[in-house]
Structure 1
Amino acid sequence: MDTAAAQRGQVPPGERDGDDARGGLRAALAGLTTRGRSFLAAGIAAGVCAYVLGQADLLRVGLLLAVLPLVSVVVLHRTRYRVAGSRRLAPQRVETGAEARVHLRVDNVSRLPTGLLMLQDHVPYMLGPRPRFVLDRVEAGGRREVSYRVRSDLRGRFALGPLQLRLTDPFGMCELTRSFSAHDTLTVIPRTEALPPARPAGESAGYGDGQQRALALAGDDDIIPRAYRHGDDLRRVHWRSTARYGELMVRREEQPQRARCTVLLDTRGIAYEGGGPDSAFEWAVSGAASVLVHMLERGYGVRLLTDTGSTVPGEGAEGFAGSGQNTADAAGLMLDTLAVVDHSDGAGLSRAHDVLRGGHEGLLVAFLGDLDEEQAALAARMRQRGGTALAFLLDSGTWLTGGAVTGAVEDRLRQLREAGWTAVAVPAGARLAELWQRTGGTQTQAPAADTYGGWS
């Protein structure tokens, strides 16, 4: 989605009389360039020499050298340009490593043409060099448009702006800078990876009548009918209710319930070593983002949970619901949260354990860093009885050295698997899609329409 922020101002601002005018004149004098200061110094030196030596011609040269920059200051100070600037981001949210284009537009809303303008936009150093543009004379009512690209390998929210205009005289003696006040924000979200269809044993699909059955066992009087919808089996028509309501009614023998998925992201600072875009922590954040988007697209009610026990603001009791009109908005909120997530100061997973113990149903997907024996035991207890739990265990030490999975990690995997988890180790540079396929077993096809018993 593109955004535009209008920034309007006058370059330079029109000073009134009194103190404002004197302050503006002082600011204009302070805007003398190196050339202007050199001319002024040379003129003063020539005037002193002419006085000492008694040379009238040298005095004329000195006056010319000294007056030229002063005249440029006065002319530039009294110039009134009314200029409007705007910035537009396309898009406003990008993944790490992807480029966004920033469009700048300058409108001359005054009745006078402008002189030479230098346009500069402030961007954080992570996004690249500071862009600068030289704009030729802009006619009255005219406009100029320029653009530049930004790119970041790091997640986060980055402020763009303020936009600056530099006004110079034709001789380059004086330069005045005026800034607009508006800023725009570019959000760099973690990179997401498309995941293949897979279904862990025992896990159900996102939404369907066959997920939890509420069969009417006491006869027709206990059946709660509903209006016929296109595609319903005609064998389920309830004729008594049809005669009563005057429209076709069917037996509602199964109550639909949306499947839930909780994605747990371990953000403890002590659980990860190293930093940068290729670190273990960034892989875990990217993996969590990929699973969230994948499950939302398949109709799950998705919740993001960290080791601090915090969730995404705006989540409902069952998380964000997928397979609806607001799926993109829900994914955007979660990705915006992951764009700024950082290491926590916590040493354990007890807060996340308390949240899950307070009520959790459905699939649990955890991205865990280094675990000691105590934290591994706590993580093992997070799996609810009868629920499906997947764990991706990262050994950040091997990410720094590129070595094989250590024996300590194998012990933690064994501890989780004994508790019923489907746990896999994440070696350095691993692709989540391959690990995701491994956790889903051999079944990779989506379940049939009347099965409602799979995860795709």
Structure 2
Amino acid sequence: MNPLRVLTLRGLGLVLFGAATVATGYQLGQRDFVVLGTLAFAIPLLGLLTVTGTPRRVAHTRALRPSRVPVGTEARMLLQLTNSSRVLPIGGLLGADSLPVILGQEPRFTVGYLGPRDVRDLGYRLRPQMRGHFRIGPLRLWFTDPLGCVRLPRTLGSSVSLLVTPSVVALPESPLTGGAATSHPVAGSGEDDVIPREYRHGDDPRRVHWRSTARHGQLMVRREEPRSRDRSEILLDTRTTAHAGVGPDSSVEVCVSAAASIALHLRERGHEVGVSTTADGEIANGPERAILDALALVRPVPPGKGNPTATPLSGGVPDLAASATSGRGMFVAVLGALDDADTATLVRARETSGRAHVAVLCDLAAWPGQDAPRRSEQALVSAGWTVLRVDSAHELARTWPHPPARPGSRGGDT
């Protein structure tokens, strides 16, 4: 430890004054100057001795509640400092918690005097405006002597994780989530089939087929026909070249929020939902929590980077649209800026499947010109896509109810 690095301006001034006074006293032969200089020089050194062992007496705990929040929702960090010594107090204690810049200014604390066995509770609130995974901590402390000549820095404890999931807007009912389901007769639970089977213990008596019972001389129940699984797929455009802006209002944040809103909307209506990106392929295929957690970590990726087995927008989309959906499921592409080749790929994707295809075009993306979104929209609508133009997730909530169920419609038509 370099003593000069822990001296405050006051302490450094005393050291320099003391050294100069001692030197002057020796040169002039003045003993009083030497004593005064020695005293001034010794004060910061004595202060350093008083705080050197202090950090070992401080214990620290932290708790983040909750550790997983949506964008714009409040979380609270609870800190507790304890002086573990039974005899020695701690004075002049300052603190600051380490925060990523994107979460705001670091909280600072003036703890002050901490007596033997004293406990001090500290806390602050966070309201993150950006999704992602963040490390909060460790706690930084500064121990000062009573005269303020020394400030000894120490890092205490470790960091904790905060996961911020995308903001989600509620989408109203829409014809887009309707459609016919295919099915195959098997024994299970679902709609009635005319083919009966023998009664089994636990079968619902209301399913007894009396005509077959009379014919066979034993209880017979209707077989059942389940609906096929409704599976939808969401493709999220994560190309850096397709997006514009930074921060919460950037096009990539609008697209991620739109993808999360659509995924949860479909899950609430019984669909299985898979989420893929143009850089990493499938990132989630499960419950709402898994989808939101995966989308919280999505980042724009330059062309050519990412998972080589992913489904880039330039190819593979037709196969994904055809193979990843079933039943009444739909294929949803949440997109940044498109060029002619991208639009042509999406047109081919529509030709490979008869299920609903929805394209969400973000007006904030890095479009090559003012007319580009309209041209891409017209080409996709002509190919049978339902197109929604949005500039925020809240705009998606306004547009979502209106697209007709028939293919080849423009979002917002009434």
Q: TM-score when scaled to structure 1? A: 0.74
Query: Which residue of structure 1 lines up, in the alignment, with residue 244 of structure 2?
Result: 273
Amino acid of the structure 1 residue aligned with 2:345: L
1:418 corresponds, among 382, 385, 393, to 382
1:121 corresponds, among 97, 102, 111, to 97
1:374 corresponds, among 336, 341, 362, to 341
Question: Does 2:166 match 1:166?
Answer: no
Unmatched segments (≥5 aa) in structure 2: 187-191, 214-218, 304-311, 407-414
- Cα distance per residue 1:268-309 (max 9 Å; x no partner): 222233333223222111100111122222322111011236
Question: Does 2:304 match 1:337?
Answer: no
Query: Which residue of structure 1 lines up, in the alignment, with residue 156 of structure 2?
Result: 180
- Cα distance per residue 1:57-100 (max 9 Å; x no partner): 22222121111111122232244742221222222223333432
Asked whether the equivalents of residues 106 and 143 of structure 1 are also in contact (C-alpha less than 8 Å), the reply is yes
Asked whether the equivalents of residues 226 and 251 of structure 1 are also in contact (C-alpha less than 8 Å), the reply is no
Alpha carbons of structure 1 residues 80 and 161: separation in structure 2 relative to 1, 3 Å: closer
- Cα distance per residue 1:289-332 (max 9 Å; x no partner): 111122222322111011236112xx5xxx31xxxxxxxxx323
How far did residue 375 of structure 1 move? 1.8
Query: Which residue of structure 2 lines up, in the alignment, with residue 220 of structure 1?
Result: 196
Query: Which residue of structure 1 lines up, in the alignment, with residue 308 of structure 2?
Result: none
How far did residue 357 of structure 1 move? 4.1
Q: TM-score when scaled to structure 2? A: 0.81
Q: What is the CA–CA distance in structure 1 between the aligned matches of 2:109 and 2:220, rounded to whole Å?
A: 69
Q: What is the percentage of aligned positions where both structures have the same residue?
A: 36
Amino acid of the structure 1 residue aligned with 2:243: Y
Alpha carbons of structure 1 residues 432 and 351: separation in structure 2 relative to 1, 3 Å: same
1:53 corresponds, among 28, 45, 50, to 28
Amino acid of the structure 2 residue aligned with 1:365: V
- Cα distance per residue 1:386-417 (max 9 Å; x no partner): 3122111234469899xxx73x4333333323
What are the equivalent positions in structure 2 for 1:73-92 lying under 5 Å apart?
73-79=48-54, 81-92=56-67
Q: Describe the SS at the equivalent of 2:121.
A: strand
Q: What is the CA–CA distance in structure 2 between the aligned matches of 1:130 and 1:189, rounded to whole Å?
A: 22
Alpha carbons of structure 1 residues 249 and 289: separation in structure 2 relative to 1, 3 Å: farther
How far did residue 235 of structure 1 move? 4.0
Question: Does 2:233 match 1:262?
Answer: yes
Q: Describe the SS at the equivalent of 2:349.
A: coil
Q: Describe the SS at the equivalent of 1:194.
A: coil
- Cα distance per residue 1:5-28 (max 9 Å; x no partner): xxxxxxxxxxxxxxxxxxxxx445
Q: Describe the SS at the equivalent of 2:146.
A: coil
1:282 corresponds, among 241, 244, 253, to 253
Q: CA RMSD in A?
A: 3.3
Amino acid of the structure 1 residue aligned with 2:92: L
Aligned residues: 385
Query: Which residue of structure 2 lines up, in the alignment, with residue 432 of structure 1?
Result: 396
Q: Describe the SS at the equivalent of 1:392.
A: strand
Asked whether the equivalents of residues 244 and 251 of structure 2 are also in contact (C-alpha less than 8 Å), the reply is yes
Asked whether the equivalents of residues 214 and 253 of structure 1 are also in contact (C-alpha less than 8 Å), the reply is yes
- Cα distance per residue 1:128-182 (max 9 Å; x no partner): 1121111132233321111122333333222111112211111111121111241
Asked whether the equivalents of residues 322 and 353 of structure 2 are also in contact (C-alpha less than 8 Å), the reply is no
Q: What is the CA–CA distance in structure 1 between the aligned matches of 2:31 and 2:211, rounded to whole Å?
A: 119
Q: Which has the higher contact order (CA 8 A, sep 6+)?
A: 1
- Cα distance per residue 1:218-259 (max 9 Å; x no partner): 8435x7968335xxxx542257999xxxxx985332124431
Query: Which residue of structure 1 lines up, in the alignment, with residue 359 of structure 2?
Result: 391
1:307 corresponds, among 278, 281, 292, to 278
Unmatched segments (≥5 aa) in structure 1: 1-25, 205-209, 243-247, 321-329, 443-456
Alpha carbons of structure 1 residues 421 and 249: separation in structure 2 relative to 1, 3 Å: farther
Q: What is the CA–CA distance in structure 1 between the aligned matches of 2:201 and 2:356, rounded to whole Å?
A: 33
Asked whether the equivalents of residues 232 and 324 of structure 2 are also in contact (C-alpha less than 8 Å), the reply is no
Query: Which residue of structure 1 lines up, in the alignment, with residue 307 of structure 2?
Result: none
How far did residue 41 of structure 1 move? 1.2
